[in-house]
Amino acid sequence: MAITDSIINYRRFLKRRNYSKYTLRNYMNTLRHFVLWLDVPIEETTHKKLLSFIDHLLDKRLKPKTINCYLYSIRGFYEYLINEEQVAMNNPVKRGYALRLSRPLPRYLREEQIIRLFDVIDSPRDLAMFKLMLRCGLRVEEVANLTLAAVDLARGQVFVYEGKGCKDRVVYLSKDAYQALVKYLKLRPCSRAKKLFLVDKGRFKGKPIKVRGIQYRMQHYAKKAGLNVCCHQLRHTMATQMLNADADIVTIQDLLGHSRIMTTQRYCQLSNQKVRRDYYKAMQKVLQRHSL
């Protein structure tokens, strides 16, 4: 079997299924590492050989989540060989091989932390970017990929095209996010770039800001505010605040673009205020019915 041809064909197969360029890059890097490590033809890989590869990754001190990503992409490649290229073999990556992961609760910002962070943001562009994360639940990649055409100020909404999993969705602008966005648009430099947020200084001025550039800005403001904050925590904060305000969990799922309701339900463990209100409300009824 020409392994190079198979990998190229697999990449084309994933592209036809509309996988993002980031996923394609990660899958190809994973397969390259696996093939370089492998000392037998790829179709002769056994379960025992796969377990040795897991031990190899553990010896390199890779995190369990990273190792599971390796296993997921390698399993997908073998499924492609078996189902699409009709290679007669068993998939060496059994589903039970995935390493057990801890499930830490999503980290969110308390109200006083939100105030501290946004008090030090002095750039209209940065304020608009981070308000979209905090009020609309956008991921950093989604903010970087926003275009001018995706913003509908008249209806107070933003179209998120090809978010995670290549899913489209609509999010809505709160009053403060709307005001921050309008202020930035008035100051946005003229540019042929279709992207909404642009670099505002330096050699790349006028070019679309990249994900890493947005993350650097967050690191700058977090250090200035004396906080340990990342962009994704603003998204977690939005979900938690929505739950505490008694928003329906299915509504939050749609706004965040989660494929599974179980992902959104993790925020219920953080929503202490809602749990507290629900407890006292229910307990009041219990005591009224069963007064001693």
Which CATH number do you get for residue 76? Answer: 1.10.150.130
The answer to whether position 140 is within a domain reads: yes
Please say if the pLDDT value at position 283 is more than 70.
no
- The verdict on residue 291 lying in a domain is no
Whole-number pLDDT of residue 275: 65
Q: What is the DSSP letter of 190?
A: P
Give me 153's structure tokens: 């100020």
Rounded percentage of the chain residues whose pLDDT exceeds 90: 54
Are residue 257 and residue 129 in the same domain, yes or no?
yes
Residue 285 counted as domain residue? no
Residue 173 lies in a domain: yes
pLDDT at 292 exceeding the cut of 70: no
pLDDT at 43: 87
Judgement on whether residues 140 and 48 belong to the same structural domain of the protein: no
- 64 and 194 housed in the same domain: no
We report the CATH number of the domain holding residue 144 as 1.10.443.10
**Residue 274's pLDDT band (cuts 50, 70, 90):** low
The tally of domains found in the chain comes to 2
Residue 165: per-residue pLDDT: 64
| Co-location of 30 and 67 in the same domain | yes
Q: Comparing 1 with 134, which gets the higher pLDDT? A: 134
Greater model confidence, 249 or 119:
119
189 near 180, Cβ under 8 Å?
no
Looking at every residue in the chain, the average pLDDT score rounds to 87
Residue 250 banded pLDDT, cuts 50, 70, 90: confident
Between residues 245 and 28, which one has the greater pLDDT? Answer: 28
Same domain for 85 and 131, yes or no, is no
Cα separation values, 187 from 93, 147, 155, 213, Å = 53, 16, 21, 19
Catalytic residues: 139, 164, 232, 235, 258, 267
Same-domain check for residues 48 and 87: yes
| Residue type, position 134, single letter | L
Where is mean pLDDT largest: 114-128, 201-215, 234-248? Answer: 114-128
Q: State the Cα–Cα distance between residues 77 and 96, nearest whole angstrom.
A: 17
Which helix (H) or strand (E) element contains residue 291? none
Question: Does 49 lie in the same domain as 142?
Answer: no
- Same-domain pairing of 224 and 196: yes
For residues 93 and 117, state if they share a domain: no
Look at residue 79 in the predicted model and tell me its pLDDT. Answer: 93
Q: Tell which of 53, 75, 97 closes a domain.
A: 97
pLDDT > 90? residue 206: no
Q: What is the average per-residue pLDDT within 123-148?
A: 95
Domain shared by 217 and 91, yes or no: no
DSSP string, 50-116: HHHHHHHHHHTT--HHHHHHHHHHHHHHHHHHHHTS------S--GGGSPP---PPPP---HHHHHH
Q: What is the mean pLDDT of residues 150-154?
A: 95
- Does residue 104 sit within a domain? no
pTM: 0.68
How confident is the model over 35-40, as a mean pLDDT? 92
**Sign, Cα dihedral of 151, 157, 163, 164:** positive
Do the domain assignments include residue 103? no
Question: For 45-98, how does the pLDDT look when each residue is reduced to its tens digit (9 = 90+)?
Answer: 999 999 999 999 999 999 888 999 999 999 999 999 999 998 888 899 988 888
pLDDT for 146 equals: 95
Query: Is residue 1's pLDDT more than 90?
Result: no
Same domain, 132 and 252: yes
For residue 196, the model assigns a pLDDT of 96
83 and 174 belong to one structural domain: no
The domain containing residue 84 runs over which residues?
A: 3-97
